[in-house]
Chains A and B, each alone.
Chain A
Amino acid sequence: TAGITQAPTSQILAAGRSMTLRCTQDMRHNAMYWYRQDLGLGLRLIHYSNTAGTTGKGEVPDGYSVSRANTDDFPLTLASAVPSQTSVYFCASSDSRTADEQFFGPGTRLTVL
């Protein structure tokens, strides 16, 4: 079972360019999440989705957008990248957005220059 996959594994992006980080899960989980992880800080929630067709803002949503057209896919788009968006991005999913454990993808390391 693949679980959660993310693409690309890593990317160097010029400031001002747009980019979509892809996330796909095969566990039929209802809830999905995007986090960023920066050195010395805890994981910070960017956006989440309770179920297909719905999305919500997390702690640090500015500069990012998401969509949830189906259960499996939850892409994260940076419309116009800035250097402060340099980070490791993790996609996660859980059966529901309550007390269920979250399963994480392998992460995307993004550098914005």
Chain B
Amino acid sequence: GQNIDQPTEMTATEGAIVQINCTYQTSGFNGLFWYQQHAGEAPTFLSYNVLDGLEEKGRFSSFLSRSKGYSYLLLKELQMKDSASYLCAVLDSNYQLIWGAGTKLIIKP
């Protein structure tokens, strides 16, 4: 079967750095997405990786290792507004997005 694993919840301090991991087992791979979802709101796009390596976009970076079935989202200089759930999703061989359950990130002052 297809599976996306990510931690259920993480806590970090304002101004610090946090890394949210995602491991996946899917039938085929056409890229990996990270979305941010604030409580009660819709998911919004953060990043897309299809090749191995690190993609940096401001305070957020996303890393992919296809051979290990592994990705992480790195958030730097954490702000209180970064408190949200972070969703990892893999595009499989049928171009269907398989979603993880999300990681709830709690930022403390």
Instruction: Point out residues on A near B: beta carbons under 8 Å.
Output: 40-45, 48, 58-59, 90, 97-99, 101-107
Cα–Cα distance between A101 and B10 once the two chains are bound (Å): 25
Q: Max chain A CB contacts within 10 Å: which of B4, B41, B99?
A: B99
Hey, which chain A residues are within 8 Å of B41, CB to CB? 106-107
A107 with B96: CB separation less than 8 A: no
Residues facing A in B85-99 (CB within 8 A) are 87, 89, 91, 95-99
Shortest Cβ distance from residue A31 to the other chain B in the assembled complex, whole angstroms: 9
Interface size on B, residues (CB 8 A): 22
B99 with A104: CB separation less than 8 A: no
A98 with B30: CB separation less than 8 A: yes
Kindly report which residue of chain B lies nearest to residue A48, judged by CB atoms: B96
Cα–Cα distance between A87 and B45 once the two chains are bound (Å): 22
Given A40-B101, A42-B89, 7 more A-B residue pairs with CB atoms under 8 Å apart are A42-B98, A42-B101, A42-B102, A43-B99, A45-B96, A99-B48, A104-B44
A58 with B96: CB separation less than 8 A: yes
Hey, which chain A residues are within 8 Å of B50, CB to CB? 99
B99 with A99: CB separation less than 8 A: no
Shortest Cβ distance from residue B31 to the other chain A in the assembled complex, whole angstroms: 5
A42 with B30: CB separation less than 8 A: no
Cα–Cα distance between A41 and B100 once the two chains are bound (Å): 7
